[in-house]
Structure formats: C-alpha cells, structure tokens
Amino acid sequence: MKQEIQSLRLSVILVRILFVFILVLCCCVPVMVHWYDTEYAAGVGLVSGSVYWPLTICLYLAAVCGEVCLWNLGRLLGNLTRDIVFVQENCRYLRVISWCCLLVTIPFGVFGFWRFLSFIVAAAAAFFGIILRVLKNVFDKAVELQEESDYTI
C-alpha cells in the first residue's frame, strides 16, 4: 500500500514538472524551430522550402493538447490519490485525454507533408488515443457495475 501511495505521488510530481516544462519550451519554440529550419533545410517530404511556420504551428497546437492532457491527468491522479476510482468524473478525464491524443494527430499529420517522419508521431498519438478510448470504455463499464452494486442489497 505504501508503495502505491509513493507511486501516485511520484506520478503527480512528474505530471506537474512536465506541465511547467512544456510551458517553458513554448517560449523556446521560435528559436528551436529556426535552428531546425536552418540546420536541416534539406528534409524529406512532399513540400519543400522552409518549415518554420508549419512546424511552429504544429508544436504550439501539440503543446495546447499536451497541457490539456496533463491537466486532466493531474485531476485523475488526484482522484486516485483520494481513493476515488470508479466514478464518471474519472471517465470524463480519460475521455478528454484520449481526445487530446487523437487531436494532436492532425497537426503532425499535416506536418508530415513537410517531413515524413512526422507521420510516425501522428500514428503514435493516434495509437495512444485509441488505447485510452478502450481504457475509458472499461472504466465506463466499471462505473456502471459499481453503481449497480451500490444499489443492490
């Protein structure tokens, strides 16, 4: 039991650190993208030319999705820390997290036309989104069973 509590605390700390880290990285996006655009100008993709604006837009959209995802993950972990497990609120958090993963496939999928490797990131995000949708459906069913058992004598 003590190990579970320590694991949850570590997860909460890591989510908070990552939340702040993404905010800090958002300030550095223009510099990082400029460096990438000048160093790796000869990329492989259907669209040639500068990737400054497409990559900047892609990273900012991904950052928004990531921050929303981390916020909801923090709320979910908070409920788990308080032993609130099989409730609709947690299902809602999982739903939002899964949609964030699925939404981030759009900017990376579009950026894939400039750099083909971006399609791999989009596919990985879609894969995680689908896994989280399945997990959310399992939680929905568990909540339903929990509510059913609460009303049984």
Q: Is residue 68 part of a domain?
A: yes
Q: What is the pTM of this model?
A: 0.91
Owning domain of residue 107: 2-26+52-150
Could you count the other beta carbons within 10 Å of the beta carbon of residue 114?
19
Residue 40: per-residue pLDDT: 81
Beta-carbon-side half-sphere exposure of residue 41 (alpha carbons within 13 Å) = 5
Please tell me the distance from the alpha carbon of residue 6 to that of residue 3, in angstroms, as a whole number: 5
Residue 44: per-residue pLDDT: 81
Q: What is the mean pLDDT of each run of 10 residues along the chain (153 residues)?
A: 89 97 97 92 82 96 98 97 94 98 97 95 98 97 90 73
Could you count the other beta carbons within 10 Å of the beta carbon of residue 77?
19
Query: What is the domain count for the chain?
Result: 1
Q: Is residue 84 part of a domain?
A: yes
Please tell me the distance from the alpha carbon of residue 101 to that of residue 37, in angstroms, as a whole number: 26
Q: Is residue 40 part of a domain?
A: no
Residue 153: per-residue pLDDT: 60
